[in-house]
Structure 1
């Protein structure tokens, strides 16, 4: 399974199965994670993948994920994700965004995450641009 799309399809399946070991096994031991919008969140290695997903599965026991769009070019897979579930405190959990994966030798060797919590209450486009540019709300 060297095709990036097949590897990502398998990642989705094991994530939805909440199979932590199979999920971690999708990643190379020297996996590189980058979060360009939040650079301090980047990390190296699949030990952090395990810690992250153990916390996610425990905190959102009914988590489900889906890739709503994908394209691949060589060893890269550009994927748009939706994640949904209910946290153990009863609050909804929803995230959406893009993850760009690099797959080598059947394992995910790197990922650039642009995944963010869904925000349905922060205002319209005018408000968002005003906050971004002026630091204030309209």
Structure 2
């Protein structure tokens, strides 16, 4: 029987080595990744997702600082990713953000469901606004403020 934590830790090591082929070995063929940047299904899409990340942040480093070892499935960890934005980074609207040279420090958590020694579902959670702010992006001021039913502003009449 494969130790699920060995799988989870091996995946983190492959990410830090930027070894897409090795990290795919930790995923089932039909695995799914769900994250703030989107959904990836199967090895081809998972490989593409990590290739984009490593292209945008060639020095990306993942530090796992908490493991919820008392759970069997999903395996939960909290992490910090650091890196320098020195390559193109794909934004949710399909545009590429050219290298800014900015350093990022992103905190997050993930849950991995492991069956038969492979990750079948991997869910990541992090604050996209925190990432985009560190990259020098900002929310657009062009959008009108939300209104409550009856036309009042959220602050009241």
In the alignment, what sits opposite 1:59? Answer: 56
- Who wins on radius of gyration, i.e. which is larger? 2
With the length of structure 1 as denominator, give the TM-score of the two structures: 0.75
CA contact (8 A) 1:69 1:79 kept: yes
CA contact (8 A) 2:33 2:46 kept: no
CA distance, structure 1, for counterparts of residue 51 and residue 119 of structure 2: 18
In the alignment, what sits opposite 1:101? Answer: 112
Indicate the SS of the match to 1:2: coil
Unaligned runs of 5+ in 1: 122-130
CA distance, structure 1, for counterparts of residue 111 and residue 51 of structure 2: 22
After superposition, give the CA deviation of every residue in 1:91-121 in whole Å (9 maximum; x if it has no partner): 1233211111001111111022212347297
Q: Label 1:77 to 1:50 Cα distance change in 2 as closer, same or farther (>3 A).
A: same
In the alignment, what sits opposite 2:92? Answer: none
Task: Output the aligned Cα RMSD.
Answer: 2.7
The alpha carbon displacement at 1:42 in A equals 2.4
Q: Label 1:21 to 1:41 Cα distance change in 2 as closer, same or farther (>3 A).
A: same
The yes-or-no answer on 1:13 pairing with 2:13 is: yes
Does 1 or 2 have the higher relative contact order (CA < 8 Å, sep 6+)?
A: 1
In the alignment, what sits opposite 1:25? Answer: 25
Select the structure that is richer in helix.
1
Select the structure that is richer in strand.
1
Aligned length: 123
Could you list the runs of 4 or more consecutive aligned residues of structure 1 that deviate by over 4 angstroms after TM superposition?
A: none
CA contact (8 A) 1:75 1:102 kept: yes
